[in-house]
Each structure stands twice: as C-alpha cells, then as structure tokens.
Amino acid sequence: MSQYDYDLFVIGAGSGGVRASRLVAMTGARVGVAEEHRVGGTCVIRGCVPKKFMVYASDFSHQFKTAQGYGWTVPEPSFDWKQFITAKDVEIARLSGIYASNLAKAGAELVHARAKLVDAHTVELVGKNRTVTADKILIAVGGRPWMPQDLPGIEHAITSEEAFHLPELPKRILIAGGGYIAVEFAGIFAGLGVETTLVYRGPNLLRGFDDDVRAHLAEELKKRGIRVILGTQHERIEKTETGLVNVLDDGIRCESDVVLFATGRRPYVGDLGLDKAGVELTPEGAIKVDELSRTTVENIWAIGDVTDRMNLTPVAIREAVAFAETAFKNNPCHFDYVDVPTAVFSQPPVGVVGLSEAEARRLYGKVDVYLTRFRPMKYAFIGGDERVLMKLVVEPQSDRVVGAHIVGPDAPEMIQMAAIAVKAGVTKRQWDSTCALHPTVAEEIVTMREKFVPPDLLQAAE
C-alpha cells in the first residue's frame, strides 16, 4: 500500500485535468481532483463552448438577411438576450454535469475546493480544513484574462468572462485587442446588432496569422459593419453621463456602453504554493515543464494553458493523454505540436493549419503560393459582397503542402479535414489529384492550379 492518500492528485478540472484524471483512474490508480469553480474549466464554462453558442446566436442576423434574398418574407427579427443567456447557462450546467459524472464513472474523486501545494507531495484543500498527500501531482489550472492594470480607467472595462453574463445587451461596445477573443466577440456583438468598434495597437488583426488572412478578415469584418481602428493605443477610459469614452493616443474618442478588454490571458499560477514545492516558472510566468510535461519537481507535472505552450483545448487534452501514458502506463510520449489546426470563430470564420507564407519563407527560403478569392454562390445569388479566401503554401523542393488557410463560411470545418492531408505531408500533386465535390465552397481548395503572383509583382514585370 502506498504511503500517500492518492496515486495522483490533479489540481484543476478543466479539459486537460478531467481527461488526465479519467485516464489515470481507469488504470485502477487512486485519483483525486480539486476544482474551485465548476467542472469543465475555461472551455466549457467561460470559453469555447458558450462562445460558440454566442456565435450561433449572432449569425442568425446574417441568415435572416440572406433568407430575404432567397424569397423569404422575414418579419423584423428581434433578439432576447436574457432568454438566450438563460438557455446558454442551462446547457453549460448540463455539460458541466456530464464532465463531473464522467469523472465519477472513471473512479476519480472530485473535491470542490481550491487546492494549494504545501510541499511536493502535499496539497491543502482551502476551506475544507483538510490536506491530502499524493505520489504524483498534476497541475492543470489554466489561465485567466489579463488587462493592462496601469491604464487609467481600466476598472470600467470587463473581460470575456463577464461578457458571458452581461445583464443586458449593450447598444454600443468597444473591444480592445486583435487576437482570437477580440475578433470573435466583435463578430458576436455586431451580429446581435450592437454598434461595435474594435481597437487594436498593431497594423492588422491576428498577429501571427498569414498576412493575406489578416488583410482579408479585416475587410470582411468592416463589411459586417464593425468599425476597425488599427495602430492605436488606449490612453485612458473615462466614465461620462452617457457612457464610457476610450481616449486613444491619436486623439480619437470612442464612446460606448461596454468596454471589453481582450488583451490576452496569463497562466493562473497565483497562490498555488508553487514555491513551497519548488516548482519553477518561465520568465513569462508559466509553469516550466520539459517535453514530457514534467515540472522542475520530479513528481509534479503540468499541462494545458498554465504551461503556455499552445493554448488550445484539444492540445491540453492531448497533453493529458501523453501525461497518463508517460506517468502511469510506462510509455513515455509527448504531444506533437506540429500542424495543429486552429480556428478563429470570427464572422466570417478563419481556419488554418500549418505555416503562414512568411513562416514558410523563413524556413524554406522559396515557397509557392496558391491563392483564390471568390464570392461563394450562396451570397453571389443575393448580390452579396462577401468573399472567401483560400490559400495554400507549398514547399517547392518536396512539393509538400505546408500551410492551408481559409477565411469564409465553414472554414473551421474545412480546415479540420485539410489538416489530415497537411499532417500526413501530402504533396500538391496528390492534393490536386483529389476530385472536386461540386457545388461546394470547399471544392476550390483542390482546383487551384496557377501559382499566385502578387499584383504589385505582376505590374513590375510588365
């Protein structure tokens, strides 16, 4: 019999923590898991899942307009925010319950408490007057939104977490940031009829994405009525009688009812007792781990956003699987972070797998690019101006498709499929040998035959 209460104690019951707890408990090991909030973590409770419901809700306004073009008589639609939020919360509670019952079915013991390390094998369950010991400990506490606390008036701003529970739908919103959360919420609120302004400090949204994707998305967002202000910093936020005013560094004053800062997330490492156990942080404040997700303490491991490697739910889940294999099944392995597909659920959405053109050029020097922009038939029919962007980046020596990028309806669904091919390392020739499926938007991805030459280069050659 082990000298410890548990073989594994997991801190945090989000996507990564729950998966690891279940897999390890199913080996017959004694597993405890502590969660201070609801089971499900960021993704289920205040992230991907409620966000996607909001995207669905918001997108109906676009569908109503499209329906009119197809001959439907659509009475003036109205949206009931409170009804939606209630229904969303009911569904989130149901999903959280499923996560909790899956833990129980696997034989893991759930403790509703905040957990803190006392030493390398001991965890305090705050408010429970209880400490537990474990042979191995897994930290999977995720991240928290971050805002620039030194910005005057920042106390008037909310983060994405409060956006899920606004008492009422604002008439005007200002969103700060140019990353995933900022563009996703800009689309959500604009679709729900809120006058939406997006303010970002950089030259274009979604830094790190392919430049053609970034430029295309910014144009499409403007077509959806979002006011996009680029290259601008916030100087202060003022509360006035009529609302909140963001004063920007170029003198622009933007008035809104709600200011949402989506300026990144940070690992949630505060008050975890890491120093007591000797767990070290990276200079950026994430838990330092090796390739196998082991921290600087031999029996303590960490996965997911708290390690700030690739902050995506499916990645945390795969890190959890690798942890269970390594630490409990004598099969050391790690997740392969190459060619992980990602989507931004903006409106229209973005789907990406592999390298951007710039990354590929840095890596390979020369690359071939295939690019198309077109009006999808669904919207061309109603005279709409919405355009899809598709782009393939090919490494010419091997002819391998090293990057695929789509902006347009159903882009995330398409990219999930394209990711199989990119991950498998198929060549452009193999890609092109796939027969088109007509009529679809997706067929364009297998019919791009001409290498793309940017218009400015074409002009220079003429």
Distance separating alpha carbons of residues 109 and 169, to the nearest angstrom: 39
Asked whether position 15 contacts ligand NDP by CB under 6 A, the answer is no
Q: Is 438 a catalytic residue?
A: yes
DSSP state of 435: P
Give least dist CB 214 to ligand NDP, A: 11
Instruction: Give, for 374, the enclosing helix (H) or strand (E).
Output: strand 368-374
Burial (Cβ within 10 Å: 0-12, 13-18, ≥19) of residue 397: exposed
Find out whether the peptide bond into 348 is cis, omega within 30 degrees of 0.
Answer: yes
CA distances from 175 to 43, 232, 250, 274 (A): 21, 13, 17, 34
Q: Which of 6, 99, 180, 209 binds ligand NDP (CB under 6 A)?
A: 180
What's the min distance (Å) between Cβ of 390 and ligand NDP? 19
Of 311 and 326, the one with the shorter C-beta distance to ligand NDP is 311
Point out which span in 103-111, 172-180, 333-341, 429-437 binds ligand NDP (CB under 6 A).
172-180
Q: How far is the CB of 310 from ligand NDP (least distance, A)?
A: 7
Closest CA to 408 of 380, 428, 383, 450: 380
The smaller minimum CB distance to ligand NDP, of residues 202 and 278, is found at 202
Report how far residue 347's alpha carbon sits from residue 411's, in angstroms, rounded to the nearest whole number.
10
> Any idea what DSSP says for residue 245?
E
Closest to ligand NDP by CB, 122 or 311: 311
Minimal distance in Å, beta carbon 21 to ligand NDP?
Answer: 23
Q: Which of 148, 152, 225, 454 binds ligand NDP (CB under 6 A)?
A: 148
Q: Is residue 264 a contact point for ligand NDP (CB under 6 A)? A: yes
Q: Candidates 262, 277, 287, 422: give the one binding ligand NDP (CB under 6 A).
A: 262
Which lies closer to ligand NDP via its Cβ, residue 264 or residue 384? 264
Bridge partners of 110? 33
* Residue 207 in contact with ligand NDP, rule: CB under 6 A: yes
Measure the CA dihedral 427/433/438/443, to 10°: 10
Provide the minimum distance between the beta carbon of 350 and ligand NDP in the complex, in angstroms, as a whole number: 9
In the bound complex, what is the minimum distance in angstroms from residue 184's beta carbon to ligand NDP?
6
CA atoms of 340 and 281, how far apart (whole Å)? 25
Check binding of 92 to ligand NDP (CB under 6 A).
no
Stretch (H or E) spanning 45: helix 41-46
Q: What amino acid occupies position 361? A: R
Q: What is the residue type of 145? A: P
> Between the CA of residue 109 and those of 42, 118, 236, 331, 382, what are the distances in Å?
21, 20, 47, 25, 56
Task: Tell me the residue number closest to ligand NDP, measured at CB.
Answer: 179
144 makes contact with ligand NDP (CB under 6 A): no
CB of 346 to ligand NDP, least distance (A): 9
Query: Going by C-beta distance under 8 Å and a sequence separation of 6 or more, which residues neighbour residue 96?
Result: 38, 39, 40, 44, 45
Residue type, 401: V
Q: Binding to ligand NDP (CB under 6 A): which residues in 334-393? A: 342-345
Residues 312 and 14: beta-carbon distance below 8 Å: no
Smaller CB distance to ligand NDP: residue 305 or 395? 305
CB closer to ligand NDP out of 293 and 311: 311
Q: Which is nearer to ligand NDP, 310 or 417 (CB)?
A: 310
Task: State yes or no: residue 263 binds ligand NDP (CB under 6 A).
Answer: yes
The residues carrying an active-site annotation are: 438
What residues make contact with ligand NDP under the rule CB under 6 A?
A: 148, 176-182, 184, 200-202, 207, 262-265, 311-312, 342-345
